[in-house]
Amino acid sequence: MTALEPLVARTSDFIRDTVIPVEYEVVAHGRVVDDALRLDLQKKAKDAGVFGPLSDVRYGGLGLDTRAQARVLEAAGASLLGPLSVNGSAPDDGNIHLLAHAGTPAQKERYLAPLASGDIRSSIAMTEPAPGAGSDPSLLRTVAERTGSGWVINGEKHFTTGADGAGFTICVAATADGPTMFLVDQDNPGLRVGRRMPTLDHSVPGGHCEVDFVDCAVTGDAVLGEVGLGMEYAQVRLAPSRLVFCMNWLGLAVRAHEMAARHITGRSAFGGPIAEHGMAQGLVADSEIDIAAARGLIRTAAESIDEQGPASSAARHHASIAKTFVSEAVWRILDRSVQLHGGLGVCEDHLVARFLVESRAFRIYEGPSEVLRWSIARRVLRSVR
């Protein structure tokens, strides 16, 4: 047994015994996923020794490399609330990585330390209403202009995950030198969090919000990294963040697959258990194949990140492949699980219906499948030209 196995086992036990009962309260009884719930679950995760798979040990984390994170986060992902409980969910996952890479010592002390320890949440404001930036970051319309003492930011954002109640927001804005990232405290009067957008998923504290920057003044030390290099830093964040999504959602798909297998083993129709009917077995087999393939692609991308760096061409390429395949495989697995549950599959009391709905956005955020396919193809074609 490797040193990682006990941690994976503890994480699985924590999710089963502590998190899944709370998940049922959220799905079946409408309990709101708020910061009180988050803090309670994260305290219990710390007590269980499973908190912080993405954080350095100096911040109370587990100090894991990406390959180890894949195992632990799949175990945590078995519940909708699992990644949140261990501080391994978006957008904090990517922001932890970004701050660790690009933050100054003072920024790490002020922002990274409380974020990695779970004392606060964060958000990142990149996506804008049309005709602004979405999948195409070159359409960035939010602007930051220099002043005598720092910068003034103006622009509109939306789908800013976790903005309501966050401790700070990383704002991506255009400057004369190129896109730049700024750390903006949430109590800055120029940062205005609007409505929570009514999206399909409901398990994110702080929702997905409209955010306006109106004459938002920040000091010079609010710049994260270097001026004009915002897109380069985004690349550092992107591959690990895409892979964390894959790890988390695969864990939920695996659980739904196991739930469906148990259901058809105990349910009889047409003269025998459903599990003995060939068409049901075909669905089970296809899901098993998708799970195995997804794990392999995640492992390959994790190795690229660990060995060549998150911004390397290989890491970005493998993370794009993994994210495209895993997001679609998760949808197929969850859809089959709903089908195998029959009528109960569309009842939220049996959870798989909610799993399916919550997962739909996975094929869009952190890069839609269509954009990622375009990116993958361009890399391949460049290599043969």
Q: Give residue-wise pLDDT tens across range 352-376.
A: 999 999 999 999 999 999 999 999 9
For domain 230-384, give the CATH superfamily. Butyryl-CoA Dehydrogenase, subunit A, domain 3 (1.20.140.10)
Supply angle C-alpha 229, 233, 238, rounded to 5: 145
> Quick one: pLDDT at residue 349?
85
DSSP 72-89: HHHHHTTSTTHHHHTT--
Name the pLDDT band for 207 (thresholds 50, 70, 90). very high
Terminal CA-to-CA distance of the chain, rounded, Å?
Answer: 47
Domain locations along the chain: 4-99, 122-224, 230-384
Contact 298, 290 (CB under 8 A): no
Q: Which residue has the higher pLDDT, 262 or 348?
A: 262
Mean pLDDT of all residues in 110-133: 97
DSSP 196-244: EP--S---STT-EEEEEEEEEEEEGGGEESSTT-HHHHHHHHHHHHHHH
* pLDDT above 90 for 1: no
Q: Which residue has the higher pLDDT, 183 or 1?
A: 183
Confirm or reject CATH 1.10.540.10 for domain 4-99, answering yes or no: yes
Confirm or reject CATH 3.40.190.10 for domain 122-224, answering yes or no: no
* pLDDT above 90 for 18: yes
Q: What is the pLDDT of residues 293-326, one digit of tens each?
A: 999 999 999 999 999 999 999 999 999 999 999 9
Q: What is the pLDDT of residues 148-166, one digit of tens each?
A: 999 999 999 999 999 999 9
Name the pLDDT band for 3 (thresholds 50, 70, 90). confident
Q: What is the pLDDT of residues 82-104, one digit of tens each?
A: 999 999 999 999 999 999 999 99
Contact 320, 367 (CB under 8 A): yes
Nearest residue to 295 via CA among 261, 325, 273, 260: 325
> Quick one: pLDDT at residue 385?
80
